[in-house]
Structure 1
Amino acid sequence: MEKSKIVMGILAAATLGACQSSKVKISGRLVGADARQVYIEQLSAGGKAPLIDSVSLDDAGNYRFELKNVPSTPSLYTISYNGESVPVLIEGGDRLTINSAGSFARNYTVEGNEESSLLREFNLAYVEGAEKLNDIAAAYARNGQSEEELKRLAKAYSDEYLRIKRAQLAFIVEHKASIAAVYALSQRLPGDRYLFNGQGDAVYYRTVADALEERYPQSPYLASLHAEISRLDALQNLSATVSEAGFPDLEIADMYGKKVRLSSLEGNVVLIDFWSPSLGNSNALNADLKQLYEKYHDSGFEVYQVAVETSKPMWINTVQEQSLPWISVCDLRGEASPALTIYNVRKLPANYLIDRKGDIVAKDLYGTSLEQQLEKLL
């Protein structure tokens, strides 16, 4: 009896030690291509993928990775071979087998980890759908198509696009407590900036964050999920402040901490100017704008300048060094600022010109072009 208890105790300790192991082994066989190197990278919570290791295939196409100090909470990695990458979820103690014959991204299999198998299910369907969209787009772009054929292709593209989106959202909701859902949240089809429709995306991020908080409270992806939820909530709040005049209102703090509403400038001709203090051309652009401001300010020209920056000292020092005379505001969120999303700013610098009635009449005007518009409007 005592001997049995001792054996059971040893087995329990061994099992516990295996569960708590931080070592991971990944092996498999890749055939059907001439490439000899396999790479593994870790996707950080910020989306970057630093290289962890690389190994060579043997003559039969076999490979093997051994990783140490891997956390017990599943993390996203990518395995790359022959110019193609596939995502996997790895946690300490895993023993994964990843095989492929032919195209790595289309034909790979995963054994040994339930989360990775789930991720494979999503990824293969998503990649296949994206390839169909590319094929339809290529057919549409070919010369000599009849109008009827172009309409058919346009409908086929729209139908496939909606099918992929519905499948993506369904996967996220169904597997909300899986890290695979985090990966699915980040995938975008060509030309997409949002998961679904921008403002409504927060509900999906919140659904996944709530489920993960319960299942994986130590997950490194929770912080980025909550940050995205905050950004989307702020965007929705901004969208609710669209003024009767027809432009999205903004309320952002100036360098003294006082919030300034864009709509408080109605009745003037207003330039909403998005810029970055760290851009090399900011000094020259602001110098040109100062000349126009001094010339037209008394006639009713105002500038509402939004700095895209995360460092308050950098922003304030630049404003003071360049002696900027207009309204300077910054939410210190950098490229995550909701103001960029609501005004669809994709590059810096950028600006919008609003007339006295509150209508946006022009965008991205500088120098002579801006002065000509000001002459007309004032």
Structure 2
Amino acid sequence: MIYLEQVTPLAQTLIDSAQLDETGNYKLELCDVDRTPALYNLVCNGDKIPLFLQGGDRLTVSSVGRVVHNYTVEGSEESELLRRFYQPFVAGMQRLDALSSSPETYRMTDEEIRRIESEYWAEYRRIKHEQIKFIVEHKSSLAGVYALYQRLPGETYLFNLDGDVIYYRMVAEAIEERYPESSYLPLLASEIARMDARQNLMSNIAETNFPDVELPDMFGRKVRLSSLQGKVVLVDFWSAELGNSNAINAELKEVYAEYADRGFEIYQIGVDVSKDIWINAVQEQQLPWISVCDFRGRNSPALGLYNVQKLPANFFDRS
């Protein structure tokens, strides 16, 4: 059987299927397809072929042997361009997987292991170089949008925390000019806004010398802000009872993971009265930084020292 899925940012929905005839041919027909290309997956034996389809397209997709490695596309410029990115990217991912999952590593010498590691990172850099090159060269294509969102094993970012927004903005501007009605523009705009907000957190908060505070952590041990002297410290006021605390801390965790080994620390002050609620939030969200709270809520002296009027509130201390 051949299946066709429609892919959106939130779901993959099965919309049609066809039985292969005795010669291995099939036919799928879609009605009321938008004139702006959208992403679909053609699924065969568990392998997925990504396609960009739009109203009026007549595609021929052919393959011999393993579908992903050998398929060809005729009748869609965007889908053919996507194939030129997708096939090498998948092949590279499979090579990385083979290098990282060798069952014989326990028998290898240190030199052999280092050789495999060297091969892995050389392949990783090659794939990444080709991915970035494809995005830049085809920034006005939806295939470029697809490539923008693909990640190699262990990756959170396409390039790095600060640099990704450059590629997203470049692609968004080119797509808006070529496909002004594309459903992918709001997605790109949202991603760019999120990245800008994260960068602003690191660069646009007022820098000054802030008053010292000493508050207890969840174990009752008092932690003085000045004990972190020499580090770049983000003093963050929050409350576990805020409805958006989980999302806000998730953003902070990305920043912390990127900069913690470069002398960055977060001194997070809980503006709460319930010890149970605050401790549960810290533990459930697995917050990796310094978390303190005096359980006096809005009456905490720390709020007055920092003139905090609303939550959340952030301050940089570079002392």
Counterpart residue number, 1:351? 287
**Counterpart contact for 1:77–1:87, Cα < 8 Å:** yes
Spell out the pairing of 1:112-151 with structure 2 (5 A cutoff).
112-139=75-102, 142-151=105-114
Q: TM-score, normalised by structure 1?
A: 0.61
Aligned-residue offset at 1:197: 1.0
Q: Cα gap change, 1:158/1:59 in structure 2, threshold over 3 Å: closer, same or farther?
A: same
Q: Tell me the distance in 2 between the aligned counterparts of 1:335 and 1:62.
A: 51
Q: Tell me the distance in 2 between the aligned counterparts of 1:180 and 1:78.
A: 13
Spell out the pairing of 1:186-335 with structure 2 (5 A cutoff).
186-240=149-203, 267-269=213-215, 304-305=237-238, 319=241, 328=242, 330=244, 334=247
**Counterpart contact for 2:2–2:18, Cα < 8 Å:** yes
Per the alignment, in what secondary structure is the counterpart of residue 160 of structure 2? coil
Q: Cα gap change, 1:348/1:119 in structure 2, threshold over 3 Å: closer, same or farther?
A: farther
Q: Tell me the distance in 1 between the aligned counterparts of 2:211 and 2:39.
A: 47
Aligned CA-pair RMSD: 3.3
Aligned-residue offset at 1:140: 7.7
> Match for 1:110 among 58, 73, 76?
73
Counterpart residue number, 1:39? 3
Gaps of 5+ in 2: 226-234, 259-282, 293-319
Per the alignment, in what secondary structure is the counterpart of residue 21 of structure 2? coil
Runs of 4+ in 1 over 4 A off after TM superposition: 241-244, 263-266, 299-307
> Match for 1:67 among 27, 30, 44?
30
Counterpart residue number, 2:230? none
Counterpart residue number, 1:341? 254
Q: Tell me the distance in 1 between the aligned counterparts of 2:73 and 2:249.
A: 35
**Residue identity in the other structure for 1:42:** Q
Q: C-alpha deviations, 1:282-332, integer Å up to 9, x for none?
A: xxxxxxx6xx7xx779x989995466xxxxxxxxxxx3xxxxxxxx58479
Spell out the pairing of 1:11-30 with structure 2 (5 A cutoff).
none
Q: Cα gap change, 1:331/1:38 in structure 2, threshold over 3 Å: closer, same or farther?
A: same
Counterpart residue number, 1:79? 42
Per the alignment, in what secondary structure is the counterpart of residue 52 of structure 1? strand
Per the alignment, in what secondary structure is the counterpart of residue 219 of structure 1? coil
Q: Tell me the distance in 1 between the aligned counterparts of 2:205 and 2:104.
A: 38
**Counterpart contact for 2:238–2:245, Cα < 8 Å:** no
Q: Tell me the distance in 2 between the aligned counterparts of 1:240 and 1:141.
A: 47
Counterpart residue number, 1:166? 129
Aligned-residue offset at 1:62: 1.1
**Counterpart contact for 1:79–1:87, Cα < 8 Å:** yes
Counterpart residue number, 2:147? 184
**Residue identity in the other structure for 2:213:** G
Counterpart residue number, 1:8? none
**Residue identity in the other structure for 1:198:** L
**Counterpart contact for 1:231–1:337, Cα < 8 Å:** no
Instruction: Count residues with an aligned counterpart.
Output: 259
Q: Cα gap change, 1:235/1:355 in structure 2, threshold over 3 Å: closer, same or farther?
A: closer
Counterpart residue number, 2:13? 50
Q: Cα gap change, 1:353/1:133 in structure 2, threshold over 3 Å: closer, same or farther?
A: closer
Q: C-alpha deviations, 1:57-90, integer Å up to 9, x for none?
A: 1122111110011111111111110011010110
**Residue identity in the other structure for 2:29:** E
Q: Tell me the distance in 2 between the aligned counterparts of 1:350 and 1:264.
A: 27
Q: TM-score, normalised by structure 2?
A: 0.72
Gaps of 5+ in 1: 1-36, 245-262, 272-288, 308-318, 320-327, 357-378
**Residue identity in the other structure for 2:6:** Q
**Counterpart contact for 2:105–2:113, Cα < 8 Å:** no
Per the alignment, in what secondary structure is the counterpart of residue 12 of structure 2? coil
**Counterpart contact for 1:206–1:229, Cα < 8 Å:** yes
**Residue identity in the other structure for 2:251:** P
**Counterpart contact for 2:3–2:44, Cα < 8 Å:** yes
**Residue identity in the other structure for 2:194:** R
Q: Cα gap change, 1:142/1:170 in structure 2, threshold over 3 Å: closer, same or farther?
A: same
Counterpart residue number, 1:6? none
Per the alignment, in what secondary structure is the counterpart of residue 101 of structure 1? coil
Q: Tell me the distance in 2 between the aligned counterparts of 1:185 and 1:41.
A: 21
Q: Tell me the distance in 1 between the aligned counterparts of 2:76 and 2:121.
A: 35
Aligned-residue offset at 1:343: 3.1
**Residue identity in the other structure for 2:129:** R
